[in-house]
Amino acid sequence: MCGITGTLNLTERHPIDPADMRRMLGAIRYRGPDQFGVYAFEDERSGVALGNARLSIIDLGGGQQPISNEDGTVWIVFNGEIFNYIELRPEIEKLGHRFQTDSDTEVIVHLYEEYGPDCVQHLNGQFVFAIWDERARSLFIARDRVGIRPLHYTIQQGALIFASEMKALFADRRVNPEIDPKVLDQIFTYWSPIKPNTIFKNVRTLPPGHWLLAQNGDVHIEPYWQPSFPPASELLPPKMSFDEAAAQLRELLVDATQIRLRADVPVGAYLSGGLDSSTITALIRHYTGNRLETFSIAFSDEAYDESAFQLQMAQHLGTDHHIVTATHEEIGEIFPEVIWHTETPIMRTSPAPLYLLSRLVQQHNFKVVLTGEGSDEFLAGYNIFKEAKIRRFWARQPQSEIRPLLLSKLYGYIGGLSEGNTAYLEKFFGKGLTDVSAADYSHAIRWRNNQRTRRIFSPDLQSQMSSANPIEAIPLPAGFANWHPQSRAQYLEITLFLGEYLLSSQGDRMAAANSVEGRVPFLDHRVIEFANTLPPHYKLRGLNEKYILKQAMRDLLPENIWNRPKRPYRAPIHRSFFPNGKPLDWVAEILQPDKVAEAGYFNVTAVAALTRKIERLGTLGETDDMTLAGLLSTMLVHQQFVSDFTPLPPIGGGDDIKEVVKCIEYGV
């Protein structure tokens, strides 16, 4: 985990001042507080500056950035880890390259010298890096395949400005943040922006699996990897038996876990009590000799708490286990700080407990943890996949009164959906029931329900909302229509939810806030590519989710862990902001009618009605809960970044800074 920043003159000439990088790095110093580095280059043709805030994990003494090739003509700043760097290094040395460090960063430099943009194909890792090639006068930036590490950029006054986080962009005086109403509409519909959009106008994200090349005033962006599935016709008969596939999945996960333990600092693991994190911790225990410390979130609210399963798993493995308990009020109190790090509105409070969890990790002097994200997306773990399967089964006999009752088994945690009320289930899940060929069949109900949250928008914002079918805004790959329905559902979940919400707001940002790096074995690209070739029924057997993973791991886990039904990770919403029916002080302050009106995003009367409903009833339904989270987080984004942005101080005097400045124009 690190943070990177940079600027490149494209069509206008701006002075290249290392002080600009110090300001940008200061804004994200928590991402890498150990060391800082700045590279600056300027001549009559080009001007570029790169910055790095380092969280030292590999080659603690020699890996300070920026790092160059042998003759100092290719320079890199890097955020992330290359897990196969040990295997790559001897291959590179055979090609004649000499290494100055033992870091994984330097491996990328020499790969780029040999292969140019195709260097990314050799990397197994989670990364964003920027490489300046002095001879070609080119800047090359690449992001890992699924977006574990973030990269944002903007073009202002003829300059490309980029950084790991948007607040670093805003530390550049040329960038003025402004919320994009159309993207706010997307977040309230899909829970995340549609790539490459961000909540701020003219600020983009480099999409997962893409690289950017800036040269001669032009910026070119190209994909090098995208999630893909075989046509449905190629999935049967299976190319390998179920038992063979389960064994291969385990073998891949073992190696993916082992290489993610490579570090010159201790590595811990998150333990949620579910199948995914239990799988990773069990693989560490049984296939490595590493000392294992685990970290978990408990909730004071029993409706969300899984600590009994966490403790059982910790005792089963004999780990040194640490727990932090999240209360309603604590989730609400830290929410403004959470939004400072997410930098975007969110429709859930789920990142807040993860912020507390990474703080617990930091307090125990760990910099690295392994986590279980990614399994649900690639091994069909979410209820939305079961829901689509049941609806397709129901659609064969649309008049059946029995088939829709299967849906009541999925959402026991959502009021009204587990009551066995056939009329209610038919009304909620029956719209578009027989349109089974629709590209968004799996997600249309969710998106339509989410759109109800937009009723709180101001009249001006309502006028800017899209009236199109939500699926029309989503680019779909060639061949999508020929995939199995479950594959299509997985693709939508991966591209919309995984990279820009789960791995960002809940993942990278909450860990980085406390100078912690999360590593994700399930998102090793070898695991992903293998999982995507499996027949759907290997992953979802009937309504038994992640079936192949359960069978692959059953001998290493207690039965009530591996055979336990999926329980989604959630956190309380309205009770966190309105404990005892009354708003927290900051909530009352930010929802004052004059502030809501001044911001302009929400209808003042609708906001007042929502708060009165909470105070009168003391509870909210699922849609109103999402509305409240979206409302408060949007107001916080406006307050923190638009109306009153104050970046952290620049790095300076007492910091460990490596600075390389080349100003050829002036003969320096």
DSSP 564-576: SPP-------HHH
**Within 10 Å of residue 271's Cβ, how many Cβ atoms?**
31
What average pLDDT does range 467-472 have in this prediction? 87
Convert the pLDDT of each residue in 225-240 to its tens digit.
Answer: 999 999 999 998 999 9
pLDDT over 70 at 664, yes or no: no
pLDDT score of 668:
39
pLDDT score of 209:
98
Query: How would you class 397 by CB atoms within 10 Å of its CB: exposed for 0-12, middle for 13-18, buried for 19 or more?
Result: exposed
Pairing outcome for strands 293-299 and 267-270: parallel
Distance CA 162, CA 137 (A): 17
In a domain, 366, yes or no: yes
Return the SS3 of 614: helix
pLDDT over 60 at 480, yes or no: yes
In the numeric block, which tokens belong to residue 49? 């500056």
Question: Is there a single domain that holds both residue 114 and residue 26?
Answer: yes
Whole-angstrom CA distances from 456 to 597, 608, 643 are: 12, 10, 21
Backbone angles phi, psi at 250, to 5 degrees: -65, -40
Overall residue count recorded for the chain in this entry: 668
Tokens 């300027």: give the residue.
42
Distance CA 85, CA 28 (A): 26
pLDDT over 60 at 61, yes or no: yes
Question: Is there a single domain that holds both residue 248 and residue 105?
Answer: no
Q: Please state, for a pLDDT cut of 90, what percent of the chain lies above it.
A: 89
Q: Which of 562, 590, 612 is the last residue of a domain?
A: 562
Nearest partner of 614 among 574, 565, 654, judged by Cα: 574
Nearest partner of 657 among 3, 5, 1, 22, judged by Cα: 22
Question: Is there a single domain that holds both residue 240 and residue 208?
Answer: no
pLDDT score of 430:
92
Distance CA 301, CA 187 (A): 27
Q: What is the mean pLDDT of the chain?
A: 94
Question: Is there a single domain that holds both residue 276 and residue 219?
Answer: no
pLDDT over 80 at 27, yes or no: yes
In a domain, 199, yes or no: no
Q: Which of 545, 562, 579 is the last residue of a domain?
A: 562
Convert the pLDDT of each residue in 146-188 to its tens digit.
Answer: 999 999 999 999 999 999 999 999 999 999 999 999 999 999 9
Convert the pLDDT of each residue in 290-312 to its tens digit.
Answer: 889 999 999 999 999 999 999 99
Question: What type of residue is 623?
Answer: T
Cis peptide before 237 (omega within 30 of 0): yes
pLDDT over 80 at 204, yes or no: yes
CATH classification at residue 103: 3.60.20.10
Question: Is there a single domain that holds both residue 141 and residue 41?
Answer: yes
CATH classification at residue 369: 3.40.50.620
pLDDT score of 295:
98
Question: Is there a single domain that holds both residue 132 and residue 157?
Answer: yes
Question: What type of residue is 24?
Answer: M
Structural domain count, the chain: 2
Convert the pLDDT of each residue in 330-371 to its tens digit.
Answer: 999 999 999 999 999 999 999 999 999 999 999 999 999 999
Nearest partner of 484 among 446, 529, 536, judged by Cα: 536
Distance CA 193, CA 69 (A): 37
| 8 A C-beta contact, residue 112 and residue 135 | no
Helical packing angle, 622-637 and 181-190, nearest 10°: 150
Distance CA 32, CA 163 (A): 13
- 413: confidence class by pLDDT, cuts 50, 70, 90: low
Distance CA 517, CA 508 (A): 8
Enumerate the H helices of 380-469 as residue ranges.
Answer: 383-395, 422-429, 444-450, 459-464
| 8 A C-beta contact, residue 236 and residue 286 | no
Query: How would you class 95 by CB atoms within 10 Å of its CB: exposed for 0-12, middle for 13-18, buried for 19 or more?
Result: exposed
User: 3-state secondary structure string, 25-75?
Assistant: HHHCHHHCCCEEEEEEEECCCCEEEEEEEECCCCCCCCCCCCEECCCCCEE
Q: Which of 538, 562, 586 is the last residue of a domain?
A: 562
**Within 10 Å of residue 401's Cβ, how many Cβ atoms?**
11
Question: What type of residue is 408?
Answer: S
Strand partners, 544: 541
pLDDT score of 327:
96
What average pLDDT does range 522-534 have in this prediction? 98
Distance CA 304, CA 417 (A): 18
Q: Which residues contact 380 (CB under 8 A, 6 or more apart)?
A: 486, 490, 536, 539, 540, 545, 546
pTM of the model: 0.96
Distance CA 14, CA 582 (A): 52
Domain coverage including residue 290: 232-378+493-562
In a domain, 477, yes or no: no
Convert the pLDDT of each residue in 81-98 to its tens digit.
Answer: 999 999 999 999 999 999
In a domain, 522, yes or no: yes
Buried b (16+ CB within 10 A) or exposed e, 200-210: beebbbbbbbb
In the numeric block, which tokens belong to residue 571? 């956190």
In a domain, 391, yes or no: no
What average pLDDT does range 493-510 have in this prediction? 95
Question: What type of residue is 668?
Answer: V
pLDDT score of 409:
81
**Within 10 Å of residue 172's Cβ, how many Cβ atoms?**
21
What average pLDDT does range 457-466 have in this prediction? 90
- 465: confidence class by pLDDT, cuts 50, 70, 90: confident
Nearest partner of 301 among 571, 55, 608, judged by Cα: 571
Convert the pLDDT of each residue in 32-60 to its tens digit.
Answer: 999 999 999 998 889 999 999 999 999 99
pLDDT score of 665:
47
Question: Is there a single domain that holds both residue 135 and residue 56?
Answer: yes
pLDDT score of 580:
86
Q: Which residues contact 169 (CB under 8 A, 6 or more apart)?
A: 24, 152, 153, 154, 161, 162, 163, 175, 203
Question: Is there a single domain that holds both residue 170 and residue 275?
Answer: no
Whole-angstrom CA distances from 448 to 124, 174, 193, 455 are: 38, 38, 16, 12
What average pLDDT does range 397-425 have in this prediction? 76
Tell me the torsion sign for CA atoms 103, 294, 381, 575: negative
Q: Which of 1, 2, 407, 557 is catalytic?
A: 2
Tokens 């859930």: give the residue.
348
pLDDT over 80 at 108, yes or no: yes
pLDDT score of 412:
66
| 8 A C-beta contact, residue 460 and residue 199 | no
Please say if 119 is a catalytic residue.
no
Question: Is there a single domain that holds both residue 218 and residue 289?
Answer: no
pLDDT score of 564:
87
pLDDT over 80 at 666, yes or no: no
In a domain, 453, yes or no: no
pLDDT over 50 at 75, yes or no: yes
Distance CA 298, CA 308 (A): 9
Nearest partner of 138 among 10, 4, 5, judged by Cα: 10
Convert the pLDDT of each residue in 582-631 to its tens digit.
Answer: 999 999 999 999 999 999 999 999 999 999 999 998 889 999 999 999 99
Question: Is there a single domain that holds both residue 116 and residue 171?
Answer: yes
pLDDT score of 214:
98
In the numeric block, which tokens belong to residue 209? 């699996």
**E-state strands within 149-292:** 152-156, 159-163, 204-205, 210-215, 218-223, 267-270
pLDDT over 70 at 419, yes or no: no
What average pLDDT does range 100-123 have in this prediction? 97
DSSP 8-state symbol, 453 = G
pLDDT over 50 at 62, yes or no: yes
Nearest partner of 239 among 543, 544, 540, 532, judged by Cα: 532
pLDDT over 70 at 667, yes or no: no
Question: Is there a single domain that holds both residue 220 and residue 94?
Answer: yes
Question: Is there a single domain that holds both residue 246 and residue 105?
Answer: no
Least confident of 359-373, 478-492, 536-550, 613-627: 613-627
Convert the pLDDT of each residue in 273-286 to its tens digit.
Answer: 999 999 999 999 99
**Within 10 Å of residue 568's Cβ, how many Cβ atoms?**
12
Convert the pLDDT of each residue in 443-459 to its tens digit.
Answer: 999 999 999 999 999 99
Enumerate the H helices of 103-232 as residue ranges.
Answer: 104-115, 166-170, 181-190
Q: Which residues contact 319 (CB under 8 A, 6 or more apart)?
A: 269, 271, 281, 285, 292, 293, 294
